[in-house]
Amino acid sequence: MQKLKILYLTTEDSTFWSHRLALAQAAREEGAEVVIMTRYGSHSKRLETDGFRVIPWRISRRSLNPFREIRSFIDVLLAYRRERPDLVHHIALKPIVFGSIASRLCGKIPTVNTVTGLGPIFTKDSFLFTAVRVLLKRLLTLSFRATNCKVIAQNQDDRKVLCGFGLVDIEKTAVITGFGIDTDEFCSLPEQPGDDIVTLPARMVWEKGIREFVEASKELKRRGVAARMVLAGEPDERNRGCIPKAQLERWSDSGTVEWWGQRGDMTAVLRQSRVVCLPSYCEGLPRTLVEAAACARAIVTTDVPGCSTVVRHGINGLLVPARDPIALADAIQVLLRDNKRRLAMGSAGREIAVREFSLEKILYATMGVYNQLLDGKWTFDRESCEQLKVTAKT
């Protein structure tokens, strides 16, 4: 019997490696042929070494150039016609639009569309973003019209927005909270003696609330709170909101914050941290917060979609308004000064991570969506998913 072929369409090979490798490995373990179409970078070689076939895609997340976008769409259309996959999984907005149209032109290939966050196009009100939002709504409505498509939102708020705008019928949607993490790898870590370190682990883009974190650091210093405020992550040069490296270095040199750059050893970073912070403006489901919760770290984050899915105010962390550095500083100060409360929140976060965000739970839910579209051509069971201890290698 010929293997089922699943094709993943995503913009960044690095993000697929860190967030979706386990899913691809699980699909392969369940007997599917897996193909990945993405921008070809250093992680594509790692994917190939791991046994996956990678199709290079000429795509830019930040581009709004219509000629480049048409070229990117043609790449997808030609690949779908050549590969004839049994199912395609589109991850993020551009792949959803390009891939959905291509799948309809290639014989209505069953599609899974994961909305990883609605991003600045839905949160900014500039003339450019407003115009793009109007066009994107129409394209998403067209993309989700097919009868053999499913839409995965990573939090209930995003699903409400998508259905509220009339972009998709609720019957076609599912909420699957993130990518799943290995809760054995990200295990409960006791706090270490030493400095009070508050860490913001994320891509260095403005939308992650970096400016507010820096301002909160200044405010805490004015109050005499002895905290080391750490940024852990690299600038994302393919994002319009990228923070220049020179700016990060200026903050670090001035002593306002510490910038540790990209770290591949997140458990070591979390082990050193008292509190993990993400003052983001909007998220799909922030993996960094799930990792922090799994490692029993109290969290300070914003009361916005995605972040509030992971953090329950007063239970495993504190929620503050977005773009409010004073409220951010207040919450950090509260947790640093109240050891008992901070440790109790860390323990509660660990329980939430194991119960709701484990790798096995997310794999099982995602494969369930696949099975609905494949109409019984591919079967699996919960026990086999629970035995898949595959994780994204660093």
Condensed to tens digits (0 to 9), the pLDDT of residues 70-79 reads 999 999 999 9
Give the per-residue pLDDT at 123. Answer: 61
CA–CA dist 363, 337 (Å, integer): 39
How confident is the model at residue 310, as a pLDDT? 97
pLDDT given at position 175: 96
For residue 350, what pLDDT band results from cuts at 50, 70 and 90?
very high
Give the residue ranges of DSSP H helices in the chain.
Answer: 13-19, 21-29, 42-49, 66-83, 93-105, 119-123, 127-143, 156-164, 210-223, 245-254, 266-272, 287-294, 307-310, 325-337, 339-356, 359-374, 382-386
- State yes or no: pLDDT of 268 exceeds 70: yes
pLDDT in tens, 138-156: 999 999 999 999 999 999 9
377 closest CA partner among 367, 365, 385, 364: 367
DSSP structure class, residue 192: P
Q: Express each pLDDT in 86-113 by its tens digit.
A: 999 999 999 999 999 999 999 999 999 9
Mean pLDDT across the chain: 91
Query: How much is the pLDDT for 1?
Result: 45
Mean pLDDT of 343-354: 98
Confidence of residue 387 (pLDDT cuts 50, 70, 90): low
pTM above 0.85, yes or no: yes
The two structure tokens encoding residue 112: 């899974």
Give the model's pLDDT for residue 341.
Answer: 98
217 band by pLDDT with thresholds 50, 70 and 90: very high
Task: Please say if the pLDDT value at position 394 is more than 50.
Answer: no
Give tens-digit pLDDT for 160-208: 989 998 999 999 999 999 999 999 999 999 999 999 999 999 999 999 9
Which pLDDT value is given to residue 223? 97
SS3 147: coil
**Whole-angstrom distance, CA of residue 209 vs CA of residue 237:** 17
Alpha-carbon dihedral angle through residues 15, 19, 21, 26, given to the nearest 10 degrees: -150
pLDDT score for 393: 37
What are phi and psi for residue 271, nearest 5 degrees?
-60, -35
Q: Which residue has the tokens 């080391």?
A: 228
DSSP string, 43-76: HHHHHHHTT-EEEE----SS---HHHHHHHHHHH
User: What pLDDT, on a 0 to 100 scale, did the predictor assign at position 60?
Assistant: 79
Coil, strand or helix: which one is 266?
A: helix
Q: Is residue 363 predicted with pLDDT exceeding 80? A: yes
Phi then psi dihedrals of residue 11, to 5 deg? -80, -40
Render pLDDT for 1-54 as a digit per residue (tens, 0 to 9): 468 999 999 999 999 999 999 999 999 998 899 999 999 999 999 999 999 999
Is 66 a residue whose pLDDT tops 90? no
Domains of the chain: 5-180+358-386 (3.40.50.2000), 196-355 (3.40.50.2000)
**CA 230 to chain CA mean position, Å:** 21
Whether residue 124 is predicted with pLDDT greater than 80 in this model: the reply is no
Q: Is 328's pLDDT higher than 90?
A: yes
Give me the amino acid identity at 65: N
Write out pLDDT tens, residues 368-386.
999 999 987 776 665 555 6
